[in-house]
Amino acid sequence: MSGNLHFMSFLLILVLSLMIMSASANTKPPENDWGFTAFSSEIKPEIVKTVMKSVADWQIDNPSKRPTDCWTHGTLYIGMAAWSHISDDQKYVDWLRGMGERNRWKLGEDPYLADDHCVGQMYLDLYERFKETDPGAAKEMIKATKRRLDWILDRPRDVSLKMQKRTPNGGWGLSHDRWCWADALFMAPPVWAQMGEITGDKKYLDFLDKEWWATTDYLYDPEEHLYYRDSRYFDKREKNGAKVFWGRGNGWVYGGLTRVLTYLPKDHPTRDRYISLFREMSQKLKEIQQPDGTWRSSLLDPVNYTSPETSGTGFFCYGLAWGINEGLLDRDTYYPVVEKAWAGLVKCVHPNGMPGYVQKVAGSPGKAKADSTEIYGVGAFLLAGGEVYELSQK
């Protein structure tokens, strides 16, 4: 009898074990179960500084092999500059100055290409830091950038904004002599805006204004309140039938718009138009933010692009937090959006400080993986952190 009882107990345990295993196999993991929990995403000053420092230090300890005067580094420098204004450690300012000296304070080689102007934003930032304490060095920091902008003003281009086919030597056509792709609105316009602020010469702002609105009239979709990456995407559609709006491409625009507004004089005749555009995009971004707080590589197709993308998200978080800080966005409406975005960004930071889920260099939507990172993603994260830190103090 006892043998039968043991056998029946064994069968009961076996059946229960199989039922538990079956239930576990058929249970889906929690929605948005991704990322890491190495850092807190609480919006408190010292907590924000902790994760920013970890990200900045990881990047300095793991330098990129990309050219130090290209747009990728330019974006990193801008974010690192934001962090250096918060940190109490002089090493970050010294690092930035060392990179500028390594570049001999020069821009990239292509005279018109917006990408090659991006590093100028860091040079202008350092000029502002040192113009009182080391005026001779500060003047040298922006000399080449000013010379390039003046050269362009003497030789303005008036070519089509339509994206041209590749030329026989592998480059792009003359369209790249103007801001004909979304990324360009981050790379060059802030340089023109800050140069206008520094010199007080309206010629820089006049050029900025003319070219910004020419590009916007061409690439901005007034119904969706988003930018096409370039003219090749006007008629393209995603698998779900939605228009193709690249996440980081719109991040470039939104980040560039934020930086232009930072330096544009309060009494500039078209400032209100920039603010209206900023608010339109902000409202759209609020509507399409995903439950995990991030935005997708293809903004209107989260079904086919399921992973977070942190370079675009970083720029969106940066602009939204800045808008609250500057009183251009309603705090009650947008603080929850920023809170979710920052939490999503922090969750993507590896325990060693490396930001993950950064889409690689591209010009269209693509997948982002947990272990993919790039220096422009670090720059976007630090820009976002700078504004979130300011938000945490108010």
Alpha helices in 134-270 (DSSP H): 135-154, 184-187, 189-199, 202-219, 247-263
Rounded to 5°, the CA angle 384-143-376 comes to 25
3-state secondary structure of 318: helix
Q: How far is residue 375's CA from residue 394's CA, in Å, rounded to a whole number?
A: 30
Rounded to a whole number of angstroms, the CA Rg of the chain reads 24
Pairing of strands 220-221, 226-227: antiparallel
3-class secondary structure, 227: strand
Give backbone dihedrals phi and psi of 227, rounded to 5 degrees, phi first.
-105, 135
Q: Tell me the C-alpha distance between 18 and 391, whole Å.
A: 52
DSSP string, 253-305: HHHHHHHHHHHS-TT-TTHHHHHHHHHHHHHHHHHH--TTS-B-SBTT-TTT-
**Any bridge partners for residue 309, and if so which?**
295
Is residue 183 among the annotated active site residues?
yes
Residue of 69, 115, 125, 183 with catalytic role: 183
> 301's torsion region: left (phi>0), alpha (psi -120 to 50) or beta?
beta
Q: What is the rounded CA–CA span in Å between residue 113 and residue 174?
A: 10
Residues identified as active-site: 183
